[in-house]
Structure 1
Amino acid sequence: MPISISIIGASGSVGATLATHILRSHLLGAYDRLQLVGRGMPASTAKLLATRIDLLDAFDDQRVEIEAVPNIEDVDGDIVIVCAGNTISPRLMNRRDLGAANLPIFENIAQACASRVPEALSIVVSNPVELGVQVLSGKLDRHRVLGMGAQQDSLRFARAIAKDLGISRHEVHASVLGEHGQAMVPLWSTVELMASDPALRSALSELKEWSGAVPLKERVAALQKEISELLRSENIAEAYEVTRRATPDARIMVEPAITGHAMHSTPDATANATLQCLSAVLTNDHRRIHGQVLLRGEFLGLNGICGVPLNVNRDGWQAAQLDTLTDEEQVQIRGAARSIGDYLKTIYAETGLLSKLP
């Protein structure tokens, strides 16, 4: 049966990049469909039409149907990927700052999906991911809504560790749970090396010991202060060099801010993490991914939005369990869930929609 994937916000940099990643991955084949969904504005529609032709010129040999539609109300995919919304800017400096601006956009998308594709699986890419998941889960089956932020953070953590060990990221498994933002929780207990090299395992132990010498919160605060000063003087190269010398868990919490400052987005990294979630859904090979979802006790007894390990397929997500978590890591994850919950209440209150918070 043909598969139809809709990208809401396909005229933006992340949405357009994701479309390319999907077509290049060969996840879709003949008679499958990729729907590019716009914002109902002439400029957006014109860009979508041009993007469609460009993608057809590049990938038409795969015989995937590529469709451009101008309005969110036209969405009709089996899988809906939400990329629409405001992004980081000088006025909106971090993911949490985007909440008030993107809440009405999320509400509009959720309403359209509930009306047009209530059984679709939705993957939230737009930030704040947690807010998008909260809004869509209020109008759709929560088990069919997930955010990709925790997968992107987990990939960053694995890459940072692999870089310090001098190996490929394919040889490292690692998990980052909690928020796709300031309350993220890198979990050293989940780090696995695929190689059995004693020297690598010894080096990993040294990394863990180095990271445990000073609490993560203190290391991140000191690193953020140094990076902020460098960004004010537009010293991007030195900012990246400073983070390179930091521990992997602190690095992943600060390095994206440098990239965001320089280019206001991370289109390829975001598209790659989203593609991994999408691939897990379509192949149904029982791989573990990570994502923000609305929990009702499925992981550590948590209730509310939090990034957790997941197994996913076309029917939705199920929380996976981690047997390696330390007591301290469990405390940190619960603290992250509380922080996310408090943030969501604040955004709904600031926009006068607190009564609508599910």
Structure 2
Amino acid sequence: MRKISIVGAGRVGETAAQILAEEEYCREIALLDVREDVPEGIALDILQTAPFFEFDCAVQGSNDPRILKDSDLVIVTAGIPRKPGMSRADVLETNVRIVDEVTDNILAHAPNAMVLIVSNPVDALTYRVAQRTGWDRSRVFGQAGVLDASRMASFIAQETGFSALDITTMVLGGHGDTMVPVSRFCTINGIPISYFLTEERIEAINERTRKGGAEILALRKNSSAYDAPGAAVATMVDAIVHNRRRLLPCVALLEGEYGEADIAMGVPCILSEKGVESVVELDLNAPERADFERSAAAVRGEIERVRAMS
């Protein structure tokens, strides 16, 4: 990839930019933010780490949306963050208006780009951007499941004492309290986690995963999580840039999969240089199906709020 742009030079955007530069996933990174001088300062700070991390990727920042020109991928992290006690839905109205403006800038300056949505509530905002652009679902998708699955894997590692490197997890549904950690598809080096953990401990991990972001927000007090979200973004970018065809949980528009359509939510996707190449439909059992449908209903509620703002 030649150019990746990040809209929103907050903590998630800055962390993602640092990792992308270090890994040299592209030749140029552009940071766009409305705060005067801030994106330029962040870009300069990242550039000054180049001798340490041995990269020569160009990094620049600006308040001018024309910096998006010729982007291959635009990562959207812009929006107001949650505060302790707030849900992701609480920031919906403000963030819809912010993301609408961002989308219009992408259409004007980077009409051939793919768009990765990180801003919350990510399911509803991914749907909004897809509707506003009219682009194919392969080009507009969201980051949530990669982060949630990582959180779940870290909790399993803490609980069992096994290396996080051997743990594979899968999380479906909306990004929030109704997300569906699917423990039946979670393994430790291929062995189901039920071999090592009781049903009670698994459910405790599932619940902690659902509230993983809120837990960090309550502990940090003055900011949401940004290290793990930035790393999750980089994982998705790596899959795209290197055409790895990785099976990752992403927010994607559904077109009949899982019995759902005209909705964006977390499902397993094949992520490649084409973006979302396809959606993988798991054979859910009755309880998993019921949880997924409840999560879909919650996401639909957010989408209806978005539609009402049109």
TM-score (norm 1): 0.79
Q: 2:132 aligns with which of 136, 139, 143?
A: 139
Q: Report 1:292-331 matches (<5 A).
A: 292-297=251-256, 299-303=257-261, 304-323=263-282, 325-331=284-290
Give the aligned partner of residue 23 of structure 1.
21
Q: 1:85 aligns with which of 75, 79, 83?
A: 79
Q: Structure 1 residues 347, 45: CA separation in 2 closer, same or farther (over 3 Å shift)?
A: same
**Structure 2 gap ranges (5+):** none
Tell me the CA shift for residue 305 of structure 1.
1.4
Paired residue type of 1:191? C
Paired residue type of 1:37? L
* Higher-Rg member (1/2): 1
Tell me the CA shift for residue 323 of structure 1.
4.2
Tell me the CA shift for residue 206 of structure 1.
5.2
Q: How far, CA to CA, are the matches of 2:38 and 2:209 in structure 1?
A: 33
Give the aligned partner of residue 143 of structure 2.
148
Percentage identity across paired residues of the two chains: 25
Give the aligned partner of residue 239 of structure 1.
none
Could you give the per-residue CA deviations for residues 20-65 of structure 1, whole angstroms, max 9, x where no partner exists? 121223333xxx10111121xxxx2312222222111111642211
Q: How far, CA to CA, are the matches of 2:229 and 2:299 in structure 1?
A: 21
Higher helix share: 1
Tell me the CA shift for residue 257 of structure 1.
1.2
Q: Is the 8 A contact 2:173 2:265 kept in 1?
A: yes
- 1:259 maps to 2:216: yes
Q: 2:120 aligns with which of 119, 127, 138?
A: 127
Give the aligned partner of residue 241 of structure 1.
none
Q: 2:194 aligns with which of 204, 229, 234?
A: 204
Q: How far, CA to CA, are the matches of 2:18 and 2:83 in structure 1?
A: 24
- 1:13 maps to 2:11: yes
Could you give the per-residue CA deviations for residues 290-320 of structure 1, whole angstroms, max 9, x where no partner exists? 11122111x2131111100011223220334
Q: How far, CA to CA, are the matches of 1:86 and 1:59 in structure 2?
A: 30
SS in 1 for 2:75: strand
Q: How far, CA to CA, are the matches of 1:74 and 1:27 in structure 2?
A: 18
Could you give the per-residue CA deviations for residues 128-165 of structure 1, whole angstroms, max 9, x where no partner exists? 11122011101331321111111111111111112211
Q: Report 1:40-79 matches (<5 A).
A: 44-59=35-50, 61-76=54-69, 77-79=71-73
Paired residue type of 2:13? G
Q: 2:160 aligns with which of 162, 165, 171?
A: 165
SS in 1 for 2:19: helix
Give the aligned partner of residue 174 of structure 1.
169
Q: How far, CA to CA, are the matches of 2:222 and 2:145 in structure 1?
A: 21
Paired residue type of 1:178? G
Paired residue type of 2:223? H
Task: Give the paired residue count.
Answer: 302
Q: Is the 8 A contact 1:14 1:270 kept in 2?
A: yes
Could you give the per-residue CA deviations for residues 174-197 of structure 1, whole angstroms, max 9, x where no partner exists? 11111111220010111122166x
Q: Report 1:179-328 matches (<5 A).
A: 179-194=174-189, 204-205=194-195, 207-211=197-201, 247-261=204-218, 262-297=221-256, 299-303=257-261, 304-323=263-282, 325-328=284-287
Tell me the CA shift for residue 205 of structure 1.
3.0
SS in 2 for 1:179: coil
SS in 2 for 1:7: strand
Paired residue type of 1:163? Q
Q: Structure 1 residues 64, 26: CA separation in 2 closer, same or farther (over 3 Å shift)?
A: closer
Q: Is the 8 A contact 1:189 1:324 kept in 2?
A: no
Give the aligned partner of residue 104 of structure 2.
111
Tell me the CA shift for residue 123 of structure 1.
0.7
**Structure 1 gap ranges (5+):** 217-246
Paired residue type of 1:3? R
Q: Is the 8 A contact 1:190 1:324 kept in 2?
A: no
Tell me the CA shift for residue 211 of structure 1.
5.0
